[in-house]
Each structure stands twice: as structure tokens, then as C-alpha cells.
Chains A and B, each alone.
Chain A
Amino acid sequence: MNEIREKKVWWPDPPAIKEFVVKSPWIAEKHRAGQFVILRVSDNGERIPLTISDSNIEDGTINILFQEVGATTMALGRLNEGDKINDLTGPLGRPTHIEKYGTVVCVGGGIGVAPVHPIARALKASGNRVISILGARTRGILIYEDLMRKTSDEVRITTDDGTYGRHGFVTDELKEMIKSGMKIDLVVAIGPPIMMKMVCKVTEPYKIFTYASLNTIMVDGTGMCGACRVTVGGKTKFVCVDGPEFDGHQVDFDEMMARLRQYVEEEKIAREICQKNTCGVK
């Protein structure tokens, strides 16, 4: 259990992007689009949430794709094929509500493309027309393009530096699609909080229902601690059990972004220790 079957390095330079295929038959079987796991790399490790970006019931495996932004993801990235993840629990969160909406736009920013993937696939399988907008800083770090092409009727790409697709942000592309008169029934946005906030700003005036998948700080992931709480429509919600997806127009993104910055100083200390190679995996 929890054994890493395959490792893929999508982008080697810091912050590196890596993907694992992990043996976990029970989670693979239960997993639905939109759900995530919480893992720990070592016995003194932190619990961190990562979305299940793909799964294979026959092999009993799940995929996780992550960017090495801090101590835990860096320690995780050092594991290799054959290693075991210390603790792995899931599937957590509510699955995405899948039905036939009509035309759905799936927006994935940065590594947010990975969590969007199973949702796009499920929406497609339910008869929706799926148009995906994938955004990356630069061409080299664009992930999951092939998979997204398979699960979408159409894929549009934007890069911040113009090395691939449209030169600009995912929101530029989305705005243009809306302005062109395309009828959009649902938008799903996953990426950095600021991106999700901006996507919601774009869709709000047109009353296009928009799901945002929130990536708050979490501890247990079972509704026990409240670390993951956000304000949605004026009410406090726990992202780990009530989410991770919410009606993006109701989410207080500013509060959420402030809460994500709670441990910046400590994260820096931990990252430096990790860079000196004295942390994590034993």
C-alpha cells in the first residue's frame, strides 16, 4: 500500500512539478472527480492535501501531481519509484456535482490543470460539451495537455509569456469567449486563488455559475479542526468536508488568501532547512 509505482518529472527546475502513480486500491475504487487525499511524507511530517488527478481501478492506483513549493512537497518529490508514502488518507471532500449542464468551460491555471482533469472527464462522460482553457506561465511547464485534449471537445491555451497559445491570462480567453456570444452553462475554475477570484469576477456579471475549488490550509481533512474554514455567502464553511468546490461568486477570496498566508514565516524556515537537505525523508 501507498507504494509509488511511477514517477514523472514534468518540470525539473524549482519549483519543480512532479507526478506519482501510487498504489492505493481502496482509494482508487472510491474516488470521484473533485476529491483529494491528505498525506504525510515522514513520521515528523506535516499533513498536506493533494487532489487525485487520475485513477485506475484495475491497477488500484491513483495519481497525484504536485509543485514543490515548500518543505513537504519538496520532501515528497525526493521519493522514488518503489518508496512508500508514510501516510495516505482519502478520498476526501465532496465529489463534484456532475450532470448534463450543456456547455462547460473548465479553467485550469498552473498545476490546477491536474485537479481539473478528472472533473472535465466526468463532465464529458455525462454528455456535456467541454471546452478547456489551460493556463501556464510558460510553455515548458504546461501539464496534462494530452489528457485534457482527450477529455475536452476543444482546448484553448494561454501563457503569460506568449510562448504557446494566447499571450495572456486564462481570464482574457474566457472573457473573449463570453463576449463572442458563446452560451456557457457552467465554469469550473481551479488554480491559484487569485486566478479563481478573477475568473469569478469575469463570470459574475453574466450570471454564469462558477465552481471554484478552494485550496485552503488543512490539518485533519475530516471536519475536526476548522483550519480550512472560509466564508461562503456570509456563512462559515469547512473546505475539507463542505467543499472543496463552492459557488465561486459567494466565496470571500480575500479572506481566504489572507488565511493562506498565516504561516509564511514558518514555511520559509522549513523550506530553508529542506534545501539544506536536513528535513523530511529519513
Chain B
Amino acid sequence: MIEEKKEMKEKKPKIPRQQMPEQDPHKRARNFQEVTYGFTEDLSSTEALRCIQCKNPLCIDGCPVTINIREFIKKIKEGDILGAAKVIKKSNLFPAICGRVCPQEDQCEAVCVVGKKGEPVAIGRLERYVADYEAEHGTFEMPEMLPKTGKKVAIVGSGPAGLSCAGDLIKMGYDVTIFEALHKAGGVLVYGIPEFRLPKLIVKRELDYLEKLGVEIRLNHIIGKIRTVDELMQRDGYHAVFLANGAGLPQFMNIPGENLNGVYSSNEFLTRSNLMKAYQFPEYDTPIKRFKNVAVIGGGNTAMDSVRTALRLGADNAYIIYRRSRDEMPARKEEIHHAEHEGVKFILLTAPVRVIGNEKGWVTGLECVKMELGEPDATGRRRPVPIKGSEFIMNLDAIIVAIGTNANPLVAQTTPGLELSKWGYIIVDDEKTCRTSKKGVFAGGDIVTGGATVILAMGAGRKAAKSIDEYLKTV
């Protein structure tokens, strides 16, 4: 017994965090295939050994949907991968997506006990392995479905919040219709996050699953235009509505020259490339330009996705221009590293001042100013201030603005009685109930929180489903 314990203690630290195999950076910088290949069976079982099965597993609290991480890793150790998938799916409907795009380093892995002295267990990668394994080897099993309640719920938006809410409600016995503005369901998962980070087949798989459960998805239906929320409830007979329409309104910088040809919002650039598949033009009809010198303004996931897309479209020079320093960049660390390995150049502590164009209306350059970090602002981050006289000009032929998004007002404008924050986000009484100021109307995801994460949006969708169920039992 004592012997054994000793042996374990010695053995554990010897296993380093397993690296995930990935495409060669030079090659992948020119194609749209997925960057990482995922763990192999060996890698995953080795990585699983690193988990010490804590009595008090902190990792679970670090996960916004409280996946029983210890338990699913235990199943991996036992070689029961399908069993592991079952454990995960109790809390997270779309693990193949979260395993790929969650900012694990700020969530589950940030608090993993093993990470205190070394590198944390690669929870996200294990989750992805399990999900991919299940997709390949599992058979479709109808989950337990409660008897039909005869009540129906409309969901506005098919992003992660809307999808996860639909998945829960249908199992609770409600009829569920998702109304989606675009011609494809998935929200940011299909129009924003590129193929090389989240293959669209994976999203498709999850959508197919929901449709098998009986969720109806109505594409090309813009709520606020073709129907208002009130009409959905009064005319079409929906007993409750969940607003999950995201925060899709692009912000611009409001500097001179911003409407020149060659200046894009990241939303436009990514939508053209991902949703419309413009990187396969002319096989697909939507065009995109293959620029040579591209700068992306911003430091978040959207900025990284844009700059890496520009690179894959053939840019010789792809820059990130960010006004703070590297440590403050909100993007996932893994994406920053990947971008760097692929050849993206980071121009930090720099802010754009004015876009320069030629007589034909095309971008030729960007005037920037150097910044230094001053006093901390309301968010606790040190505020960047321009350094006088440090202006310089970069020669560019495209500029992609990825400085964040706001709430799209189409739904709010047409829904009287809906209380909004001063930025236009929908106010809910608390994030657990997702109840808005309007009876029978619930909201969650980015439209409540502002641009956040996939897993938080999914979490909100599940909370809303629970809350809608409680509400509908009383009416």
C-alpha cells in the first residue's frame, strides 16, 4: 500500500502534458483544413493518467456548465470512451465544439489541481477526443423524451444559446421551432469561426441530431421583420419565446477613410469566407479579395480568425494591430500561438489613426500611433494612451476591423415592453432565470452578456430551458 502510493507519487509528474498533433504551420497557413488533428487513443489515455481524480475536483467549478470532468476522465482511464461521452453529454450537448473552442486556460484548466505545480490536465483536448470518438463509433440513441406537453416554444437565433435551449426543451416535451435569419443554422459557429478551427461538419452533425429529436429549424426568418415577437405569441400560438439572437452588430473605429474599398468588418470578411465559402470562389459564387498586405485591428478571437483567414487567402504580410500589450489580448492563448507560428506579425501597443486611400477609392495604407500603458481603467486593465509624435504609416491593401460587436436592434426595436441596457442588450432579472421584463419572453447568450463565449451561451440556453419549463408549468 505504502509502496504503491510512493510509486504513484513518483510516477505522476513524469508524464508531461500531451501535445496535440497538428498540421505543419507553413502548410496549414495556406489551407483551410483543421489545424489540429486531435488526440489519438494513446495520447488520450496517457493524458488521462495525469488526472489525479481529486476528491474535491476544482476543475468542475471552472466549467461554466459543470461537466463532471473527473468522472469522464475516469471513464477514459477505464477505456470506456462511450461511457465518458455519456457523462459529458449530461451537462454539455456539444462537446466536439467546446473541446475545440472553449478558452480552457481561463476555465476548467485554469483551476485544475495538477496545474498548480505544472501544466494542467488537457481537459479540453480530452473532451474533444471523447466527442469525436463517439461521433465515429457511437450509434444514434434517442435520449429519454418526456411526453408531449402540447405547448410550443419559439427560439430566435440558432447560435449555441438557441441550439442548447432547443435540445433541452424538446426533451422536456415541448414543440420547438428555431427561427434563424440566415440561410444556415449555427450562428457564429458557422458564419464566424473558420473551418480550420471548427469544421462545419461538426456543427452540421449537432444540427442533424437536434432535427432527429424533432426540433424544427426555420431558416431565412428574421424576427422583427417577417414576424414580431408579439405575433409569434399571439398569432402563431407560441407559449414562450427565447431570444438568442447574439451580438452581431459590427463596431467600426470612426476614423477617417473607414469606408474606403478594402476596409471590412471582421463580420463581413469572415461571413464571406465561412458562411458563403468565398475562399472557394468561383466554385462558390460569393467573391472575396486575395489581398497581399493585410492588417487586422483587434486582439480577440475574431481578430485571430480574420488574420489567419487573410493568410490562407494568400497574404504575404498579415498583421495584428493591437493597442495594448500581448498579455492583455483577449484571444485564446492557443490561437495566438497558432497565428504566430503561421507567420502572423504582431504590432502591439499601436492604434490606427486614419485610413489612407488612392483616387480610385481603395486602401493604400494606415496611419498608426504608438501607445503606452497608463493608469488602470474601469476593467482593471491599464489604459493605453497615445505617444505624441510617434505616428507612422503602414502600406496595406486591406484593413479588417475586429474591435467588437454590439447588440443588433432588429428584435428589440419591434418588441414593446422589452427592457434594454443603455448599450441595447436585453436585461434579464438574473442569469439563472433568463426572464426578461416581458411575460413569456426569455433571453440568453451574447444578446444579454455582450460578446462572450460559446460555452457561456450554451449554459444560458440550458438555464433558459429550465426556466421556461418552470414558467410553462404555471400557465
Cβ < 8 Å to B, chain A residues 49-103 = 71-72, 86-92
B284 contacts across to A, CB distance below 8 A: 44-45
- List of A residues within 8 angstroms of B181 by Cβ: 89, 220, 222
Q: Knowing A225-B250, A225-B265 touch, does A44 contact B285 (C-beta < 8 A)?
A: yes
Q: Which residue in chain B gives the minimum CB-CB distance to A258?
A: B361
- Residues of chain A within 8 A (CB-CB) of B276 are 46-47, 219
Smallest CB–CB gap between B202 and chain A, Å? 19
Number of interface residues of A (CB under 8 A): 44
A227 close to B222 (CB less than 8 A): no
CB contacts (< 8 Å) of B77 on chain A: these are: none
Q: Which of A26, A224, A267 contacts B226 (CB 8 A)?
A: A26
SS class, residues of chain A in contact with chain B: mixed
Asked if A255 is an interface residue, CB under 8 A from chain B, the answer is yes
Among B227, B267, B409, the most chain A Cβ lie within 10 Å of the Cβ of: B267
Is B261 a contact partner of A45 (Cβ separation < 8 A)?
no
Q: Closest Cβ of chain B: how far from A192's Cβ, in Å?
A: 18
**B242-276: contact bitstring with A at CB < 8 Å (1 yes, 0 no)?**
00000011101010001101001101100110001
Interface string of A196-216 (1 = CB under 8 A from B): 000000000000000000000
> A219: which B residues are within 8 A, CB to CB?
268, 271-272, 276, 286
- State which size class the interface on B falls in: 35 or more
B271 and A266 within 8 A (CB): no
Query: Which residues of A, 227-282, contact B by the 8 Å Cβ criterion?
Result: 227, 229-231, 236, 241, 254-255, 258-259, 261-263, 266-267, 269-270, 273, 279-280
A220 surroundings in chain B (CB, below 8 A): 181-182, 271
Q: Which of A30, A44, A255 has a CB less than 8 Å from the CB of B277?
A: A44
Which residues from chain B contact A273 at a C-beta distance below 8 Å? 282
A168 interface hit (Cβ, 8 Å)? no
- In the complex, the answer to whether B286 meets A226 with C-beta atoms within 8 Å is no
CA distance A229 to B249 in the complex (A): 13
A224 surroundings in chain B (CB, below 8 A): 248-250, 267, 271, 408
Known A-B contacts A224-B271, A236-B258; the reply to A91 vs B225 at CB < 8 A is: yes
- When the two chains form the complex, which single residue of A26, A223, A259, A270 contacts B282, counting CB atoms closer than 8 Å? A270
Nearest A-chain residue to B280, judged by Cβ: A44
Interface string of A16-52 (1 = CB under 8 A from B): 0000000000110010000000001000111100000
Supply 5 further A-B pairs (C-beta < 8 A) apart from A219-B268, A222-B181, A241-B410: A47-B276, A223-B409, A225-B271, A236-B254, A262-B261
- Supply 9 A–B pairs (Cβ within 8 Å), ascending by A: A40-B183, A47-B286, A219-B272, A224-B248, A224-B267, A258-B360, A259-B259, A261-B361, A273-B282
> Measuring CB to CB, which residues of chain B are less than 8 angstroms from any residue of chain A?
181-183, 219-222, 225-227, 248-250, 252, 254, 258-259, 261, 264-265, 267-268, 271-272, 276-277, 280-287, 289, 360-361, 408-410
